[in-house]
Structure 1
Amino acid sequence: MIQSLSEMHQVWAWPGKGGPQSLRLEMRPRPVPAPGEVLVANRAVGLNPVDWKMIEWGHVAWSPGHIPGVDGVGVVVATGAGIRLPIGLRVAYHQSLACNGSFAEFTCIDGRSILPIPGGVENVVAAALPCPGLTAWQALRKVPRRITRDVLVTGAGGAVGFILAQLAVCNGWRVWVTAAPTHRDALLALGITDVFDYRDPEWKNKLSESLGPRRLYAIFDTVSGEHAQSLASMLSYNGHLVCIQDRIEENPVPAFTTAISLHEVALNSVYLNATDEDWREWRSAGAELFQMLEIDGLQLPPIETSSFDALPLALTELQSGAHKGKLVVVP
């Protein structure tokens, strides 16, 4: 335990369902890690769409006063019983939605989920990775690796799609994406085969023409369950439809036709259902993603920083869609 830690800390508290501007800045006693937990002094907080959505919608485990925020980076300053991580270790994390989160100067984290950060990755960059990076990793591992196949990633201008498209290229696939034209050059520079403007009503036909006799082995959709269903007819026999935003309740193609497989991505469910082996895979995936960042083998969308005092405003900007990269708050 570090003795010089302040007994009080600043948090952004949730008063109940409302927009990000409803968050209240409060002083709270510094939390104490329970057995199996790590206390992290936050140095950077990554903002994600799930943050404003939960603030607006609420969560079954939340009551007024809850501290939102899923992604953070900081330094281990205290540990609970059963944890052997060294004090001073620089780490990243993706917090359970059911627990007080990263919109605070200190956060208690399940020790199994902690991701050490390589020395060559700065705090702000590291804070932009956990949620989109681990979501992309989970989506990718749903689909068996078969090289030289064609796959589609929708919404590749967003953080999840941007990372996922790169991982798909690394998998040996021909990767096609949809994105706004402003992202085209950046995506092509990453090895993407081609970029289609999702606002073009003919983009599906254009993709089909580019594929020729081939069909898509997998579709990774970051838009919605309804949007994912609308793409199912583009899949090949035994193809894979991965729904990252929402889920598909019923198979969108008739039985005994293309026999596609449906996949759901639910990153935060790890806290309710993961085994020790699952947590080892989580940490291994995080380590690999950070190593790729360190050697410039993985690019992130442009990052913009904001102060901790301006967190609600930054989150409102993210909600509005005004900012197309990643937003990171620095306490």
Structure 2
Amino acid sequence: MPVDYAAWCFTPGQGLAGLKLGRKPLGEPGPGEVLVANRAIALNPVDWKMIDWGRPDWGNGQVPGVDAVAEIVACGAGVTLEPGTRVAYHQSLARDGSFAEYALLDSRALLRVPAGLGDRFAAAFPCPGLTAWQALEKVPLEAPRDVLVTGAGGAVGLYLVQLAVARGARVWATASPAHHDALRGLGVVEVFDYHASEWRQTLQRQLGQRRLHAVFDTVSGQHAASLASLLGYNGHLVCIQDRQDQAPLAPFTTAISLHEVALNSIHGHGSDSDWQALRQAGERLLEDLAAGRLQPPQLHAFDFEALPAALGELKRNARSGKWVTQLTR
């Protein structure tokens, strides 16, 4: 076991330019914790946002990153998983993260990875896949109901449309034209180009007398609020990139429910039963990925040494899909 390890370290106030590849001492897992050796690391928009914006609890040398697949190398007291187990995880933003060769984790956050699923696909799953599952869990879906997923060309939207279709919903979506055929192939009723000024009116015409039961918005709180009028009585507005601080519609009209989605918050506020539900759902979805029942986003490879540049590409939204690096030892 090494005494230290390579990690990308944060410098307050310097954004992506302040990410420096350094070395940190290897810690030992405490009760309920595991030490893992990362095998593949995936990037998410939250990564560059936290690096650009900073956090009050991040000091010099903080390791960013939330998603990876890894092998357990040591376990603290009370952990039932065995060293050598391959796991995927979503790390708390309050702890040193996944942009490193090793990480210390709360064992409740670990998802066992099925043998048939490759490291890169498993690493790219936790943040978007678990977020999509949480978003869908907000809404009662008695089939068939009409739901809209905005930004369905992104990783969260891609998982969301598949999970909603599997539950029997009639799914409508917005995405750039490059994604339309693939989304229709996954069972989406119709996909609209969000650049088209009349797409809302076209959707309503196609719905006829029906109204949307739910809107899952992956764009922004402001964008979500602009879609609230498409919802029917007792509908659901689910914000994934933001939240609604005030009701977007007049009171005592359609009586919609407002939902926020905050995957990272489970680390500070989740009970053991919350973790169990998340873990069971995550492992079931990883099995679906391995069996081909769930389609992953396109992967883009990068070298670990080029991680800041890859984050920059993700920030510029140069390509859809997931950026993943495979670590070698």
* TM-score between both structures, scaled by the size of structure 2: 0.98
For this pair of structures, how many residues does the alignment match? 327
Aligned equivalent of 2:231: 235
The correspondence for 2:324, drawn from 316, 323, 328, is 328
Deviation of residue 291 (structure 1)? 1.1
Aligned equivalent of 1:156: 152
SS at match of 2:277: helix
The correspondence for 1:129, drawn from 86, 100, 125, is 125
Which amino acid letter does the alignment assign opposite residue 321 of structure 1? N
Deviation of residue 323 (structure 1)? 1.8
Deviation of residue 31 (structure 1)? 2.2
Aligned equivalent of 2:307: 311
Q: CA RMSD in A?
A: 0.8
1: distance between equivalents of 2:205 and 2:34? 53
Which amino acid letter does the alignment assign opposite residue 87 of structure 2? V
Contact 1:31–1:106 (Cα < 8 Å) also in 2: no
Write out aligned runs for 1:149-298 (5 A): 149-298=145-294
Deviation of residue 19 (structure 1)? 2.7
Deviation of residue 300 (structure 1)? 1.2
Deviations 1:250-273 (A, max 9, x none): 111111110100001011000111
Which amino acid letter does the alignment assign opposite residue 170 of structure 2? R
Aligned equivalent of 1:117: 113
Percent sequence identity is: 56
Deviation of residue 60 (structure 1)? 2.0
1: distance between equivalents of 2:227 and 2:99? 37
Deviation of residue 231 (structure 1)? 0.3
List runs of 5+ in structure 1 lacking aligned partners: none
Which amino acid letter does the alignment assign opposite residue 272 of structure 1? G
Aligned equivalent of 1:90: 86
Contact 1:18–1:57 (Cα < 8 Å) also in 2: no
Contact 1:225–1:243 (Cα < 8 Å) also in 2: yes
1: distance between equivalents of 2:18 and 2:95? 19
Contact 1:21–1:313 (Cα < 8 Å) also in 2: no
Which amino acid letter does the alignment assign opposite residue 318 of structure 1? L
Which amino acid letter does the alignment assign opposite residue 44 of structure 1? A
Deviations 1:169-209 (A, max 9, x none): 01100000000000011111101111000000111011111
2: distance between equivalents of 1:312 and 1:53? 13
Aligned equivalent of 1:108: 104
Deviation of residue 89 (structure 1)? 0.2
List runs of 5+ in structure 2 lacking aligned partners: none
Deviation of residue 21 (structure 1)? 3.0
1: distance between equivalents of 2:326 and 2:22? 17
